[in-house]
Chains A and B, each alone.
Chain A
């Protein structure tokens, strides 16, 4: 008897092809319902709910059908089980031989793809860099995440001291203290998506002002459901109470994504508060030199979007110009810059603006590798079958 017999016995249920077929069928169901859900939930929400999860459920949105609940495994659960199934099958059941070499290769490639996708899910970061012609940026902005930034130097230069409070902390509420801040913040409320409007003299007699100090004293804040559109972001707001070291409240302030930065004076020193997209600073800067937006003659159909940028990396002394356009991204450091949107400055009609999608994905090579291996494997297996088939007599 095989000395690994007990291990094999234990692994047996994991190795079966029945499990593979079941997992594939469930995978189809998850992808199908995850796609359907996009019509109502939007791509971002649906992705998180169905693919970046362990379990989920799907229900139709149509009135009268909401009682239908389809329980589904999440993408993570399926991915890991499929991985376990594959590894176990190869460890226990599979016998190596030339006739199976294609299948072996295919499976290795599938493993690389699965692991690579998991790596992308965990480590990849998408952000954007938006600027007008002539502007420099040394940071990119997250499209979904928000932060409350407190700048101790009110002059507004980029070299000032910044304390940043992430969205999650704001959402948790409670008190926030920081060594660099001579005050305590009490988070009174946080809304993921909200609209802010001026408080009307007649209509808002019963609606309280959003805060006691700052712009919020003259404004009303109304939370709204999170956005589902793929190309729109939530407009979060937060109401924060500032308490000085002596424990006296200086009042509450409303900070909103759509509002300008506001000044708060504590102990004679001014601090600039702003709720903004989470920023990721880089060790180099990029300048937008020129945008090119070509359309087909006599139409509005875009033919080419192109940004010419200059990279300035003081660390390496590198300073060069490069064009970024559709299907021709710039890979620099660990980042890849893609041409995303193009527009025109709000003030100067002759000044173009550009938005670059910036992706940091340490496992970006995995799919390339996986594809080559699987492709090779399928090809080998297909050829083995084809040769066998051509040799057999036919009915």
Chain B
């Protein structure tokens, strides 16, 4: 049996490995290039992650299809995220013709006068290039400004508004990345750097000469323009600041040749001056004077400039070689640069970390677990039709293998981040899935009736799909805000409360199974019904324990951070509702207010309560836990809640409508597990 499972897994792996890269850039060592460390959004990461996360935001995929109008059997040319990034940064004119921007809203497509679907002319009606969108930039900008001004609250925005903002963000991100190595406004970067060095060198000798001062200020303004593109930080730490925090952008690394680590500070001061300048009365204000004074003080620290850093030299050489199509020079420069990095003490940690992260990206543990869970789910259902033990055991081993993969992925993420497993919404989905699959396997170990398998695999699959969609927002390993920067509370409160979510869902799915099998099939015999009831009841107890402890630990964290145990924040309230709901189920059961079917209906409602807490509260857009409004998710949440209400309605049908119950003699008087509480005159069951 295990052998069969292994065989199936090997098949999955094969399907995944197919489609290795080839194409015009095959000679460039792009997989080496992908491993170079950079810093983006405050996170030290490989180019591989930077490129893939950016492409996901622009194109909703981790690879670029350059011929999206072709069907897959016509073998459209695909580019890896790194190939796209290399082209964007080093051959921008070519990248500008690639259809990498995905636009979903038809009104936006027609507003920008973009071509409709037309395979003969290479248009798929969804993906467009920078060059195609360019005539409409002003329109996008105007629309985006309108949305941001008139509808500051994300909840007011309709799908068109959101699509405008999404495109605007994609264009901005594209522009940020495009200027990473060679800024678009320069023809010869190294010559510009030399010019700065010349100016800085004469300023350093004649600081009191107003003309020299004027010249260097002009230079700094120019480089600040480039810095303000907010590009990734690709220049590794130099002597100016030889620590892990010493990474800079190209612009700052140039200014740092003369100003050292003050380059970043002078740009920041310049940014403050710019921000303040627009306001009325800013000119004579004391704040302005003190900002200018600070700028001049920083400028006075200028030293005779150092030579151009080797890293910048290497990047420029690589860019030129890539542009010419000269893979030999590119590859040798890349290898040389990697050696340089290896000898830089401030980068050593980043190098190993990025190598690890690239491995993790290619492993794609969660993505690859999905088909395993689906197959196992189908096998589990198949078992109920003919009680084929082979199917059940195969499903068990497949899920076990999927669970191992899932766990490996989780541990890898923890290792990469140096954090407990749940740090954001994305990882909460992963973790809920993991917990559910684990619980499902446990249930199966005790009952051996495929129920745990079906519930575990379906929840595992659904949460992984949710996670996959959440990952479309970009990087899933983002740095944490200061307030979340505490591993103790992330490890206790967040993990436990998330396990509470997972167990409430497991109970809810068990109850769904009860209703579906009972109403639509004859499969819910008395024994199955009883075991489902006991499972559900046990898991509800488990859920009560975890959601309660998790919620209260959250309160203690809040007390530690903000000085109040309970602040009635939407997310706190959501968690409280889960606790109250689970407590309600248990008390209703103990009081004999509900029996088997009533218990099931209440537990299905637990799915609604948990989903509200997990996603609904984030959609309110208020409070400390809100992560922004997600309109797509809103529809899905609505749909899910509706489906649960339908199931509850079905579950409330009198037994004569249940295919499994209609022929059964009247409901047994014997109370379920556990018996009604003391004081217990037998009460009429509500269910």
Q: Does the CB pair A18–B621 fall under 8 Å? A: no
Residue of A nearest to B295 (CB): A349
Q: Does the CB pair A31–B573 fall under 8 Å? A: yes
How many positions in chain B have a CB within 8 Å of any CB in the partner chain? 80
Residue of B nearest to A12 (CB): B679
Q: Does the CB pair B247–A338 fall under 8 Å? A: no
How would you classify the secondary structure of chain B's contact residues: helix, strand, loop or mixed?
helix
CB contacts (< 8 Å) of B269 on chain A: these are 349
Indicate which residue in A21, A327, A329 contacts B584 across the interface (CB closer than 8 Å): A21
A-B pairs with the 3 shortest C-beta distances?
A296-B42, A17-B591, A359-B563
Q: Does the CB pair B287–A126 fall under 8 Å? A: no
Q: How far apart are A394's CB and chain B's nearest CB, in angstroms?
A: 6
Q: Does the CB pair A296–B577 fall under 8 Å? A: no
Residue of A nearest to B592 (CB): A17
Is B520 part of the contact surface with A, judged by Cβ < 8 Å? no
Q: A39-B622, A338-B563, A367-B555 are in contact. List 14 more A-B contacts (CB 8 A).
A: A24-B580, A24-B581, A35-B573, A39-B621, A116-B565, A302-B481, A327-B485, A327-B560, A327-B561, A349-B287, A350-B290, A364-B565, A382-B545, A386-B538
CB contacts (< 8 Å) of B427 on chain A: these are none
Q: Which of A216-224, A277-285, A370-378 contacts B (4 or more CB under 8 A)?
A: A370-378
Q: Does the CB pair B560–A35 fall under 8 Å? A: no
Where the two chains meet, the residues of B that have a C-beta atom closer than 8 Å to any C-beta of A are: 39-43, 155, 230, 232-233, 245, 247-249, 269, 272, 286-287, 290-291, 294, 446-447, 479, 481-483, 485-486, 489, 527-528, 530-531, 534, 538, 541-542, 544-545, 548-549, 552-553, 555-556, 559-570, 573-574, 576-577, 580-581, 583-584, 587-588, 590-591, 593, 609, 612, 617, 620-623, 677-679
- Most chain A Cβ neighbours within 10 Å, of B542, B563, B566, B569: B563
Is A311 part of the contact surface with B, judged by Cβ < 8 Å? no
CB contacts (< 8 Å) of B552 on chain A: these are 113, 367, 370-371, 374-375
Q: Does the CB pair B620–A385 fall under 8 Å? A: no
Q: Does the CB pair B483–A348 fall under 8 Å? A: no
Is A195 part of the contact surface with B, judged by Cβ < 8 Å? no
- Most chain B Cβ neighbours within 10 Å, of A94, A299, A357, A375: A299
User: Complex: how many Å from CA A187 to CA B123?
Assistant: 74
Indicate which residue in A38, A124, A338, A385 contacts B623 across the interface (CB closer than 8 Å): A38
Is A143 part of the contact surface with B, judged by Cβ < 8 Å? no
User: Complex: how many Å from CA A34 to CA B249?
Assistant: 47
- Given A21-B588, A47-B568, A338-B563, is A349 in contact with B623 using a C-beta cutoff of 8 Å? no
Indicate which residue in A18, A338, A394 contacts B593 across the interface (CB closer than 8 Å): A18
Q: Does the CB pair A28–B581 fall under 8 Å? A: yes
Is A313 part of the contact surface with B, judged by Cβ < 8 Å? no
Q: How far apart are B10's CB and chain A's nearest CB, in angstroms?
A: 35
Indicate which residue in A28, A46, A345, A349 contacts B577 across the interface (CB closer than 8 Å): A28
Is A304 part of the contact surface with B, judged by Cβ < 8 Å? yes
A-B contact pairs, 22 of them (CB 8 A): A18-B591, A18-B593, A21-B584, A24-B581, A24-B587, A27-B580, A35-B568, A35-B570, A35-B573, A35-B617, A38-B623, A39-B155, A43-B622, A298-B230, A303-B482, A325-B482, A327-B560, A338-B563, A357-B563, A386-B538, A394-B531, A395-B530
Is A163 part of the contact surface with B, judged by Cβ < 8 Å? no
Interface string of A152-170 (1 = CB under 8 A from B): 0000000000000000000
- Given A28-B577, A28-B581, A394-B446, is A326 in contact with B482 using a C-beta cutoff of 8 Å? yes
User: Complex: how many Å from CA A124 to CA B580?
Assistant: 25
Where the two chains meet, the residues of A that have a C-beta atom closer than 8 Å to any C-beta of B are: 15-18, 20-21, 24-25, 27-28, 31-32, 34-36, 38-39, 43, 46-47, 51, 93-95, 113, 116-117, 120, 124, 126, 230, 295-299, 301-305, 325-327, 329, 336, 338, 345-350, 357-359, 361, 364, 367-368, 370-371, 374-375, 378-379, 381-382, 385-386, 389, 394-395
Q: Does the CB pair A326–B483 fall under 8 Å? A: yes
Indicate which residue in B527, B549, B564 contacts A378 across the interface (CB closer than 8 Å): B549
Residue of B nearest to A294 (CB): B482
Q: Does the CB pair B623–A298 fall under 8 Å? A: no
Q: Does the CB pair B41–A31 fall under 8 Å? A: no
- Given A39-B620, A298-B42, is A31 in contact with B580 using a C-beta cutoff of 8 Å? yes
User: Complex: how many Å from CA A39 to CA B542?
Assistant: 33
Indicate which residue in A297, A329, A368 contacts B39 across the interface (CB closer than 8 Å): A297
Q: Does the CB pair A17–B485 fall under 8 Å? A: no
Residue of A nearest to B570 (CB): A35
Residue of A nearest to B568 (CB): A47
Q: Does the CB pair B623–A347 fall under 8 Å? A: no
Q: How far apart are B592's CB and chain A's nearest CB, in angstroms?
A: 8
Q: Does the CB pair B559–A298 fall under 8 Å? A: no
User: Complex: how many Å from CA A347 to CA B284?
Assistant: 11
Residue of B nearest to A390 (CB): B446
Indicate which residue in A35, A299, A386, A394 contacts B620 across the interface (CB closer than 8 Å): A35
Q: Does the CB pair B678–A93 fall under 8 Å? A: yes
Q: Does the CB pair A20–B573 fall under 8 Å? A: no
Q: Does the CB pair A95–B42 fall under 8 Å? A: no
User: Complex: how many Å from CA A303 to CA B447?
Assistant: 49
Q: Does the CB pair B587–A17 fall under 8 Å? A: yes
CB contacts (< 8 Å) of B530 on chain A: these are 395
- Given A21-B588, A297-B39, A349-B272, is A329 in contact with B560 using a C-beta cutoff of 8 Å? yes
CB contacts (< 8 Å) of A349 on chain B: these are 269, 272, 287, 290-291, 294
User: Complex: how many Å from CA A281 to CA B245?
Assistant: 42
Q: How far apart are B256's CB and chain A's nearest CB, in angstroms?
A: 14
CB contacts (< 8 Å) of B527 on chain A: these are 395
User: Complex: how many Å from CA A378 to CA B500?
Assistant: 14
Q: Does the CB pair B577–A32 fall under 8 Å? A: yes
Q: Does the CB pair B247–A297 fall under 8 Å? A: yes
CB contacts (< 8 Å) of A18 on chain B: these are 591, 593
Indicate which residue in B531, B565, B678 contacts A95 across the interface (CB closer than 8 Å): B678
- Given A298-B233, A395-B527, is A357 in contact with B562 using a C-beta cutoff of 8 Å? yes
CB contacts (< 8 Å) of A38 on chain B: these are 568, 570, 620, 622-623
Q: Does the CB pair B247–A298 fall under 8 Å? A: yes
